[in-house]
Structure 1
Amino acid sequence: MTRLTCAAGRLADGSSALARRLAARTAASVARARRDDLTGWRAALGCWLRILLLAFGLYLLWRLVRAVPALLWLLTAGWTAAAWRASRPVAEEPVDATAEATAEQRGERAPGGDVRAATLEWIWQQIGDRQGVHLRDLLAHARAHGMFEALEVAEFRAHLERWSIPVRARVRVRGKGVTVGIHRSDLTALVTASPEPSPEEVPKPELHVA
């Protein structure tokens, strides 16, 4: 494989990751505008307002590019640079000692089993007595402990799904609105019914358990 082919592949992967990241951020921003204290169409007014503002912003950008075509070169360069950065591989970091100790106490120190078990326990801790947890809150907790600092929600979701941890596009969490997250019922079903994937099939994630 030539350097040019490698560079083209990296740009393609980065563009795909960047597009997913922007889509996830946009969806999360729109979902946060929903009012939990209202019902029916009134609760969704904020969402529709943000969608209209987004559409108006895209229209203004289109008009600006039509008026100044040279601006398209600047936008293309910016997108290329962002896609190149987005395609950088995420360095793996060792699992926190607390996660290993917790898994060892439960007798789950088999290769590939301790990390996933610790990941599930960490998610359970973040759910607490609520019906689910948002991925953005999981990421915030991980970053507070020095983990996943280079990941966005879309990439974090891909990590979890490769470990067969179900993620929903819409999860309502008390006091936090509706956005992408993990629902309590899905996690319960996973723990009681789903077998763990083998370490050969699933890449090792990088998670802290506080």
Structure 2
Amino acid sequence: MQAFTKLDAKLAPLPLANIDTDQIIPKQFLKTVEREGLGKGLFYDFRFDEQGREKPDFVLNKPEYKGVGVLVAGDNFGCGSSREHAPWALMDFGVHCVISTSFADIFYNNCFQNGLLPVVLKADEVQALMDEAKGGNHMVTVDLEAQKVVSPSGQTFRFDIDPARKEKMLKGLDAIGETLQQAAAIDVFEERRAIAQPWLEDA
């Protein structure tokens, strides 16, 4: 997993509440377990019409938001079914941080396992970012170490995050990476077990 420290990126507004995981990545794109390529299905029904043509009025299809790295969205982002493909699709599209007033628990947890930073801000702060993102300057800074978001105009909004999750994000550690930090101790355990219980090696 790639470490997340500080991100300077383009901000796009998605002022919709209760965006569920099926809207983030529809079910027809769930046939793969590969993370690459899922960006094409991100917000598919919002981005494309029935003929597969881009809808020009959807924010991510507008030229000024091409290459977006941070999304600011409405309440309860990521609700619905549990699908890890949702953060995969966002990251494959180039989005590495989502800002909202609240997230669905399972989606929130999946984000940390995949290197996507979910940032919770107050309603007025989210609205301020929404308003600024609609203006001419779309660049925002998300600083995980300092736990702050700096808006295009320079406003600073601070956010809370669990210290353990913060540390893992800064180091780029998912569950597997965290386990591999104990690789030496695991090797010692397996060697001792092989000596003490050799019959288990033949099982």
TM-score by length of structure 1 reads 0.24
- Greater fraction strand: 2
TM-score by length of structure 2 reads 0.25
- Greater fraction helix: 1
